[in-house]
Structures are given as C-alpha cells and as structure tokens.
Structure 1
Amino acid sequence: MGTKMSKAGKAKKGAAASGKSGGGSGGNDNIDIKLDDKYTSKAGGGKLGIDDFELLKVLGKGSFGKVMLVKKKGGDDTLFAMKTLRKAALIKRNQLLHTATERNILQNIQHPFLVNLIYAFQSDDKLYMVLDYMGGGELFFWLKKHRRFSEARAQLMGAEITLALGALHAGNIIYRDLKPENILVDLEGHIRLTDFGLSKDGITGPGAEGGTKTFCGTPEYLAPEILDNKGHGKSVDWWSFGTLLYEMLCGLPPFYDTNIQKMYHKILCAPLRFPSYLSDDAKEILRGLLQRKVEERLGSGPGGTDEIKAANFFKTLDFDRVMAKEYTPEFKPPAGRNDTDATNFDLEFTTEKAIDSVVTTHMSETAKQKSNFTDFTYQNEGAMGS
C-alpha cells in the first residue's frame, strides 16, 4: 500500500512515523494483553482512546493501518504521529509478536535519535501508538528529491544513525530494518529511527553465536549472512548501515537491481565499486561496513560501535557533541505555511481525510482473545498534561 518509486524506479513503501517493514516469520503470536486502567481520558473520564485526539492529516499508510498527524484534545498544541494497526491484519500475517516487541522497545529505550513512544492504547479492533512527530518527513523523501547527499550531510546523519544503532545494540537489540523510509528527519535536520517491528531483543553477539536465523528485512539492505541463513547478530545492522551510507553518497544501494534474485546474488558475490568522486575516507568506511565476512566487518569486533565512531570518515566530529545535537545540519527541511500542513510528506497521503477508519472485517472470539494485549497501554511520564 502506498508504493513510492524513486527516480531510479526503485519501489518503496510509503510511511511516516513508522512505515511498513519487510517480511519475516511471526512465530508464536498468541499473546494476552490487557488495558491498563491507570491512564484515564480527560475527555470522558475513562481509559485513553481515539476520541481524546484531534485527527489532522494522514501521513502514511501500510499493510496493517496508517499513520496520522494528531493533537491531544485538552492539552497544549504539541503534534504527534499516531500509528494505527488493525488487529485482524496483524493476526492474519502473524505479526502480533513483532508488534509487542516494537511496543516494548519504544517504551524501554529512550534516546535522542530514536523516536519516542508517548501513549499506547487499544480498542477491540485496533492498536494505537502515539509517537513523536518529525516534521521533516522521511529520509527517503529527501533522497528521492535530492538524489544524493554531500559527504558533510551524510557524515552527520551517519553519525547520528551510528549512535542510534549503538544504543539498541547496548540493549542487546538488533534493528534489522535500516532503510531511508525508517529514518525520520526533524525540522532542524536531525534524524530519528522509527519502526521497530522487525527488531529482535536478547541478541548478545555480532554473528550467529547468540543470534537468530529469521529471514527478514528489506531486500536492498539485507546482509549476506541473512541471505545465507547462517544465523545473524548485531553485525547485520552495520551491513545495512553501509548500504544506506552508500545510498546517501551515491544515490542507490551498492548492489541494487530491479530483479530481486539478481540483487541477492550481487549482495553475495559482486565486487564493491565506487564512483570517482567519493573521498578516500568514504571508501574506507564503506569497505569496512560492507565486508561479507562477519568477523572482518567494521563494528563486529570487541569495540562494537566504537569501531564505527573511530573511522576516518567521522574524524572531524566529536560524538559527544553529535549526541547533544550541537552540530548544525547542512540541510533543514522547510517548515511549511503552518505546523500542521505536513509539507514534507507525500501528497498521496496528506490529501486524504484523516479519520479513524471503521473496521469492516470483524474477528472471531478466538482471534479477539489472541489480540488482547496485556499492559499495552502506556503514557510517557514526560507527556503528562500534554
């Protein structure tokens, strides 16, 4: 749903605060989750619900629902991105466990370069997650518009992405779906990662040891060890980061092909080639990140994220200052006429009427029991009164 095409003809999924992820096995998705009574609605005195929010714009759509720009009634004028997910669609595609994992990661990891969960609640038919709104839209939107970035622009964005992935890895979480659609940009030009539906927790090592064997992700960014089904760990994120950094600098992923099987073959076998305009430092970090042997890949050694931070490509940056957002990004997205015009999101979505669609496919009682998410409800303490 909401397929976008880049200038090179590359199909992309439309999304906003958290678009639709790639495939993957759902595993055992029979989870019991209940509503938490302690968060109450200012509007009706009951549990927090969709009626507590003013729906302003559609920002993106995916296979399981959509993302809307919203504002909380009775609060201040803070804007949020509300992700709605149809339970029946999640059950049909065995995605309940992935959704629960995403919800838990969003609650438990707070970081300047990861999107924050503000509220979570559910109805009989849907799950709702209310997240930070990033008015600059998706990185994909800007790659499509600008084709490729300068090294200075890619350097700061890459450093922020490195810190985001490092925070996940420090919590023994692998991201597994790094791509331009899942990187949001704020109006100052800084980034945040979103959409943790394919993330996996409990991963302690860089490779197969202490890892997982699930085949999942987005084709262009899959690491060789995922394609080989050898088992994988944290290092898959550094391969995907290398692919993304190459795309930011060169305009397309390094092994891109319109034929997915040919692209998989290139990921496994094709030589890595660079355009002549890339600096030696850029080539060096890309060679390190795009090593097919996990043990030789940059970031896979005992230093982990510190190996990436020490690369010559980042030598002009102080990562403490990066974390504090003390560097001014080269590019700032336009703010638009007003806060709610969503000018940096695709018109295909923003011209739709923002409504909480009625679910026409009703679930069986068994399905309803499967989709009853215990402790799904959440309110970020910093959002009290918002």
Structure 2
Amino acid sequence: MAGVFDIDLESEEVSDTELCCRRSSGQTEEVELTSESVNRDSERVGPDCFELLTVLGKGAYGKVFQVRKVQGSQTGKIFAMKVLRKAKIVCNAKDTAHTRAEREILEKVRHPFIVDLLYAFQTGGKLYLILECLSGGELFMQLEKEGIFMEDTACFYLGEITMALGHLHSNGIIYRDLKPENIMLCQQGHIKLTDFGLSKESIHDGSITHTFCGTIEYMAPEILTRSGHNRAVDWWSLGALMHDMLTGSPPFTAENRKKTIDKILKCKVNLPPYLTADARDMIKKLLKKNPAQRLGSGKGDAADIQKHPFFRHTSWEELLNKRVEPPYKPQLHSEEDVSQFDTRFTRQTPVDSPDDSRLSHSAELAFAGFSFVAPSVLESLKEGFSFEPRSRHIRRHNSSPRTPISPLKFSPAGPFKSSMDGEPDLFSPTSPPAARPPVPLENGAASQPIKTPSRNKKKKDHRR
C-alpha cells in the first residue's frame, strides 16, 4: 500500500528516527530514517499549507472545513479538510476503527464516482484528511427538494452508483451503508460515494462476513439475521435506494426499529402503480430476501444489473466518462460557494483550535502510517496538474428514524488495517435527536462523526 510502512507493534520501541544498517562494499553504514530521507520526492504537507475558508460540518470529534491550499503543489485549489481529535477517537474502539477503515479504503480506490483523498497527515493531537470538495451537497437534499425523482433522473444516479459499487466489489470491498446521505454531488452534478467507515475489505467470491452494521432502513435481511453476508447486501441497499428515489421513502419503514426490522424480514414490498414495468421488475429483483436469488448476486455482479431493461437506454461508457448530462446541476457562483451546505455551520467562524494533547506510546501506534499523498499529486510535482427544479411537496412525512449501526472494533494488529469481524453487535434503542441522529457508543453515549458536508437535518422526522 503506497505511503504506508508496517511497524511491528510487538516491539517495545519504534521511533521515526530509528537507525537502519546498509551494507556497501563489505562495510556497514548507518542511515537515519527521517521523513526527509525516506520521502525525498514527496510533498510534505501540514495544517499550515491550508487556509481555512468556511465550516462545512461539526461533530463531537472535530470539524470539516472548506480550505484553500496556500503552499506547494496545487496552490489556490479548494478542498474539504476533515479534522479529527486523536484523544477523543482513541477513547472508543469503534471510532478508531471507523477512521482507520475510511483512511485505508480512500487510499486504495480511485473511481470517477467515489470521493478522492488527496492528502492525509497528522499532528501530535489531530488527524487530517484532505478530500475533494463536493460543492453540490448531498443527494438527500435534492430528494428533499424534489419529493421523488422521475425515472430518467433516478436511472442516471442509479447508473453511476452501480458503477461505483461494482468498482468497490472488484477490489474486494463491500460498502454496507448506501443511502442518500452518503451520496454527494460534485460541482457538475455527478455523484460521489463518501463515508467508508462501515465498509469491509477482502470480501471476494465465496467470502462472507458476519458484522451487524448499516442503516436499518437499507439493511439486507441477511445482515439482520446475522446469517453471514457478502457483496449482495449492497444490491439490496441499491433496491431500497431506488424505491426511495421513486416513491419518497425506503420500502420498509415503521414507527420504531423493531417493527422496521420485522417488515424487512417478513413483508413483501408494495409498489405504487405509476412505476413502469421495468422499474417495478428491477426493484423486486434487487429486494429478493434470499441473497442467492438477488439481482447482482452472481459472478457478474454489477454487470448483471447493468443489463437490466431499466437501463436499456444507458450508454455505460458515456456514463463512466461523464459525457452524460446530469439531470441537476448545482447552482454555484464560484469554487468557494457553500450554498448547498447547512447555514448553521457555514455562518460559523472557521477556527482549527490548537490541540497540544499528547497520547501514550501505544495509542500513537494506532495512527502509524496515516500520512498520505495521492499518486496524482506526486505526478503533478513533476509534470504540472490541475483539477478540473420542479416544485414538489416535501416528502418523508411518515418515516421512522434512520438507525446507524456501527460495529467497529479497533485491533492493534497492524497500522491502519481495518478489523471488523468478530466484534460485538451494536444496537442501541436510544431515540435520535431532532438534528442528525447519533451513532450509538458502547457506553450509551452518542457521537456525532463529522461528514463532508454536514448531514444534520432541520426536520424532526428525518430518517437516518
């Protein structure tokens, strides 16, 4: 994995200035391993390389800022900077694992419809992720504005999402938290998947995992029954999302979580008569309770879904290369426009407060290998590089609160490797607040993991 050095956590002493021996012409030479000697061709970045512009989100463990790069490569470019406090993260095993998994996967995957990680670095007390700034906001907000999507609009978004999920699956990654809040829109209106804290790596053909996680309204039956699951759970979630887009809510909702789970396990999906035959057929095939019968569960994976008649007018090559005009383009006046984000945050003064806290030696090892510079950025150091509604009633009036289930467990088996199996189940019955519902913790407290941008909602009956 580029940019990550595995460190033996069993050793008593690990130092950034550790000496190694190099043999040359029968002689031994001591070479000091420092960031300067190891990363001579890499760009070294830190908080001082970025100017804070606007607060985009805020949670219990840190903030997300819109920032401008003011030093080095890509000076003047706009990014999103996610800042997390180490001391608060390491207090909870699941939050540590969430951060580890997200950082690991964001480095591994590169796809037009998955958010790009450009830099990752750390200070004594904080972790920093520099991501592309997705100025279009959440797909959730667009759904709220429209109420429901027309089928051609849903077809566009579902097509891009299908290709993103297919790319993850081809890399042995299952996403496990597909929902409108985790789908962002770029400045041109194309989708980008974000938030990989519940994702699982190394799930290839024949592999299964038993982790109980996800968001209740989009969770597949095999996760709820803990019978073992694989990448087919993402196709169930795609069916639930498709139903959400075309009808205004996921297929199975109730006044509480237990009843929602009962519906997912026992009830048949009811589809409104205005849906076309192709849309009805695809939803039904994606929402097969038996994963072996579910569309996309075979060896073809995403390719089987792409062949469905619902996508008969889709040119996949054109879609992948972003040559299909998005149905909605965010109305943005500049790169710094934050009109698609919650004003409760954008009106705040952007301040990255100092944090001089120091962790124990063992706690610091949890963040070994965090620093990262994207290969595209490294190439730019040599060659130069540049980045380039209908009025409807508000919906979701009868939906239940969305319940994030975060099963993450920290294992110090290796620097920044996710370990998500074998952890205890997590299912908290606590009621969500009016704003963004909390992620339950083992001690019954509630955390507010920050997103890019914020996913806090104003309405009391919004689901999570």
TM-score range, shorter chain: 0.7 to 0.9
1:269 and 1:49 mapped to 2: Cα distance? 52
Quick one: which amino acid aligns to residue 100 of structure 2?
A: A
Pair 1:120–1:33, CA change in 2 (3 A): farther
1:369 match: 364
1:98 alignment partner, SS class = helix
Amino acid aligned to 2:161 = I
Contact 1:40 1:47 in 2 (8 A): no
Equivalent of residue 378 in structure 1, options 372, 376, 379: 372
The aligned residue for residue 274 of structure 2 is: 277
Count of equivalent residues: 349
What's 1:52 paired with? Answer: 49
Conserved? CA contact 1:58–1:351, under 8 Å: yes
Q: Please state how far the C-alpha of 1:217 moved relative to its aligned partner.
A: 1.1
Amino acid at match of 2:190: H
Q: Matched residue of 2:118: which SS?
A: strand
Q: Which residue type is aligned with residue 87 of structure 1?
A: K
1:1-49: CA deviation from partner (whole Å, max 9, x where unpaired): xxxxxxxxxxxxxxxxxxxxxxxxxxxx99x99795566999xxx9521
Matched, 1:353 2:349: yes
Secondary structure of the corresponding residue to residue 258 of structure 1 = coil
Q: Structure 2: any 5+ residue segments left out of the alignment?
A: 1-8, 17-33, 386-464
**Shift in Å, 1:370:** 4.1
Give the counterpart letter for 1:314 in structure 2.
F
Decide whether aligned partners of structure 1 residues 178 and 112 sit closer, same or farther in structure 2, where only a CA change above 3 A counts.
same
2:198 — aligned with what? 198
Deviations 1:297-323 (A, max 9, x none): 010012111111011111100111110
Matched residue type, 1:310:
K
Q: Flag the 1:293–1:62 CA change in 2: closer, same or farther, 3 A.
A: farther
* 1:318 aligned partner: 315
1:364 deviation in Å?
Answer: 4.8
C-alpha separation in 2, matches of 1:264 and 1:68: 37
2:299 to 299, 302, 305: 302
Residue in structure 2 matched with residue 233 of structure 1 by the alignment: 230
CA distance in 1, matches of 2:243, 2:35: 44
1:35-46 correspondence to structure 2 within 5 Å: 37=36
**Percent identity of paired positions between Structure 1 and Structure 2:** 42
CA-to-partner distance for each residue in 1:299-356, whole Å, 9 max, x for gaps? 00121111110111111001111101111111111114x3213011111221122111
Over 3 Å counting, the alpha-carbon distance change for 1:192 and 1:366 in structure 2 is: same
**Contact 2:136 2:340 survives alignment (8 Å):** yes
**3-state SS of 1:121 partner:** strand
Distance (Å, rounded) in 1 between the aligned partners of 2:190 and 2:359: 44
Is the Cα contact below 8 Å between 2:124 and 2:358 reproduced in 1? no
Task: Give the match for residue 93 of structure 1.
Answer: 92
Whole-angstrom distance in 2 between the partners of 1:343 and 1:99? 28
1:342 aligns with 2:338: yes
Name the residue aligned to 2:103: 103
Matching residue's letter, 1:89 = K
With over 3 angstroms needed to count, the CA separation of the structure-2 counterparts of 1:218 and 1:358, relative to structure 1, is farther
Aligned positions of 1:19-168 closer than 5 A = 37=36, 47-74=44-71, 75-94=74-93, 95-168=95-168
Cα distance change of structure 1 residues 143 and 195 upon mapping to structure 2, 3 Å threshold: same
> Cα gap change, 1:244/1:345 in structure 2, threshold over 3 Å: closer, same or farther?
same
* Structure 2 SS opposite 1:174: coil
Letter in 1 for 2:219: L
Question: SS of 2:90's equivalent?
Answer: helix
Write the distance in 2 (CA, Å) between the matches of 1:319 and 1:162. Answer: 10
Distance in 2 of aligned mates of 1:33 and 1:150: 58
* Aligned amino acid, residue 380 of structure 1: A
Matched, 1:219 2:213: no
Whether the aligned pair in 2 keeps the contact of 1:57 and 1:354 (CA below 8 Å) is yes
Q: Which runs of 5+ in 1 are unaligned?
A: 1-28
Cα offset, 1:146, TM superposition: 1.6
Structure with the greater alpha carbon radius of gyration: 2
- Residues in 2 aligned to 1:133 and 1:79: alpha-carbon distance in whole angstroms: 7
TM-aligned CA deviation for residue 63 of structure 1: 4.2
SS in 2 for 1:124: coil
Give matches, 1:230-269, under 5 Å.
Answer: 230-269=227-266
Q: Aligned partners of 2:76 and 2:359: how far apart in 1?
A: 39
- Report the alpha carbon displacement of residue 145 of structure 1 after superposing the two structures with TM: 1.7
Write the distance in 1 (CA, Å) between the matches of 2:246 and 2:35. Answer: 46
Q: Given the superposition, is the C-alpha separation of residues 40 and 148 from structure 1 closer, same or farther in structure 2, using an over 3 Å criterion? A: farther
